[in-house]
Amino acid sequence: MQNMRDIKRRISSFQNTKQITKAMEMVAAANLRKAQQKAESARPYADKMREVIASVAAGTQGIQNPMLVSRPVKKTGYLVITSDRGLAGGFNANLLRSLIKTIREKHNSSDDYAIFVIGRKGRDFLKRRGYPIIGEVTGLSDSPEFADIKTIAKQAVEQYAKEYYDELYLVFNEFINPVTQRPVVKQLLPLSDVTEQKETGTQALYEFEPSAEEVLEALLPQYAETLIYSAVLESKASEFGARMSAMGSATDNATEMIANLRLQYNRARQAAITQEIAEIVGGANALS
């Protein structure tokens, strides 16, 4: 009987867990839809900025803006975007594994790179292992605003402009679909491809005041910061997709465990009943 009580207790525990994971799956699904909409709504602004910058750059001869010109790489910057919470499958682990692999392949010393990190999971992981973190942001909401990451984005871009490092990479989870997220290490600075205008039919003509060079100087940092914010939004969508999948799998596993435990319970109950019948029959035979 003790064994049956243990099994019932385990069934109850798994049922409670299943309710929690199912609720978390539904919350993640709702947040995913909102995050997708927000990421998609940010794209037209970034695309328009890119179009204007490309138009300005195309009409400017001998561009010398440091954000557009590649230079010999002595030091590299990385801006890593992770989550604050876990329970999202391999969302953070796969991304950080990709970062560590890139660092080991490209650098011989910690003096050769610097890291900015968004998200508590990434910060804690990197700090425990002694990686050089020069800026961090944690505690982002489920629907982050540009103001939430403006400081670290501005710092990362300014450090490049001041030649503290010679290239800057974004490390984040690219959203493919709700069940697929791909870790990417993507070059942000220098903006070497921004001057390549795409052929989209009639191109708008712009007049600049006071000069094209000064307009570029103002727009390029804003554009780079916008790309960072877009990556944060895409990472959020990826996070919710990963959490939805992880909680869905956890719910399925709990359902399977409950079914197995109920089978064990029924077998134990049947065995107990059979034993009781055997004892009754044996007692009756002894009396006769």
Q: Check: CB of residue 216 under 8 Å from CB of residue 60.
A: yes
- CATH placement of domain 26-245: 3.40.1380.10
Residue 63: what pLDDT? 59
Q: Would you place residue 46 in the very low, low, confident or very high pLDDT band (cuts 50, 70, 90)?
A: confident
Q: In this predicted model, which residue has the larger pLDDT, 204 or 92?
A: 92
Q: Which helix (H) or strand (E) covers residue 78, if one does?
A: strand 76-81
- Please count the other Cβ atoms lying within 10 Å of the Cβ belonging to residue 177: 10
Q: Check: CB of residue 83 under 8 Å from CB of residue 103.
A: no
pLDDT > 90: percent of the chain: 52
Residue 151: what pLDDT? 93
Could you tell me the two tokens for 242?
A: 């990963």
- In sequence order, what are the beta bridge partners of 77? 114, 168
On the question of pLDDT at 229 being above 60, the answer is yes
DSSP structural state of residue 60: -
Range in 28-42, 99-113, 189-203 with the lowest mean pLDDT: 189-203
Q: What is the pLDDT of residues 150-201, one digit of tens each?
A: 999 999 999 998 889 999 999 999 988 888 899 999 998 888 766 565 555 4
Mode of pairing for the β-strands spanning 180-189 and 167-177: antiparallel
Mean pLDDT for the chain overall: 86
Distance CA 42, CA 47 (A): 9
